[in-house]
Chains A and B, each alone.
Chain A
């Protein structure tokens, strides 16, 4: 477990010093929001609020893909990946450390994107900020768990930039589906629906367990 915490701290510290992934993800997701303004009939406005939860999660997923792609690229330098593989602990803890670091690095970009969405779509998200943060956390947990695992896979394949979205997007559908439905109901009624949250929790737990157990085989050389 200490190994997991050490890796989490290492990744967060590297990000704190460079701030490259947070800034890149933030700018990217804001650009996506701006593109929605041009792609929606009549632009992003109160009339198109119905699309907001879906578009918000599209921005989150695209930004996460952008950031997750970099999660293991750093470890290729000076063969740091071999160092991770030699960590004196169950490799599942290495996975958990990396996944938690990715979740932490993604959070500021998600918060800023939600704020921008609130402005552009004339949505008052302050009243539902706490439950919305909970839904985003649940969705991001699943996203970062499979994302971290397949970032480690994709980084050692040909066409690594293409492989990560190809591997990840089909597996993210249950998470995106649950998150969008939960966010839609939350924004419309102010209450948190049970069924999408149930789908999110079940998918998160299944993904976390399988990723924790199989990370050993991904890092193996």
Chain B
């Protein structure tokens, strides 16, 4: 499974690079607008990772199957990685277009909050002793942390329009020349997430002490 997701990821990265290299440069923002192909897919991958953590946490609590705990942990770690890339790429784009590194925009603020929630999740795992207790406590926190995810997506609507980020994307809002590389980069981001989650969960499985 890991090998196949790896091959698929390599193919997607190649295709995505070609598509982005041949896509038109934004007339107003210039080449800096190409951060779109990294920034947004990283956000989607982070969302997907955190959502996976929440679902697998719930499944672990119901079934008490360690595989769900391993996937929840791996998805949180990789989700934090993508969320970090999203938070780092955002200010670079912001400096080029808004003229400032950081603006307390609702979506930006809630993304930072989400990052803190899942960093706390990872800290909780490392500060709790006993693998079963760690899994239980982390699952409860992973489940509660999921409440922040819809808050992030609806942040702009909830906090009433005073936002630098655009509204949620709707069909045809990008135009075909940008929509194709954008869609490819999103698919690549999500494939990268699943591949890294599988690799990390597999590593955790191999590190676990054998059942006696």
Contacts and interface: CB of A to CB of B under 8 A. Distances in A.
Contacts of A166: 120, 123-124
Interface of B: 61, 110, 113, 116-117, 120, 123-124, 127-129, 133, 136-137, 139-141, 143-145, 147-148, 151, 158, 160
A104 to B, nearest CB: 23
Contacts, number: 70
Nearest to B128: A157
Given A166-B120, A170-B113, A217-B139, A158 B127 contact: yes
A199 B128 contact: no
B148 A171 contact: yes
If over half of A's interface residues share one DSSP class (helix, strand or loop), that class is named, otherwise mixed; here it is: helix
A54 interface: no
Contacts of A157: 124, 127-129, 137
A210 B147 contact: yes
Given A170-B148, A214-B144, 5 more contacts: A149-B144, A153-B124, A153-B140, A207-B147, A210-B147
Contacts of A167: 120, 124, 141
A155 to B, nearest CB: 11
A170 B120 contact: yes
8 contacts: A170-B113, A170-B117, A170-B145, A171-B117, A171-B147, A173-B110, A207-B144, A211-B144
Contacts of A171: 117, 144-145, 147-148
B116 A170 contact: yes
Interface in A142-171: 146, 149-150, 153, 156-159, 163, 166-167, 169-171
Nearest to B124: A167
B161 to A, nearest CB: 12
Contacts of B120: 166-167, 170
Contacts of A156: 128, 133, 137
Contacts of B129: 157-158
B140 A217 contact: yes
A47 interface: no
B141 A153 contact: yes
Interface string A38-71: 0000000000000000000000000000000000
A217 B136 contact: yes
Contacts of A199: 158
A220 B151 contact: no
A167 B143 CA distance: 13
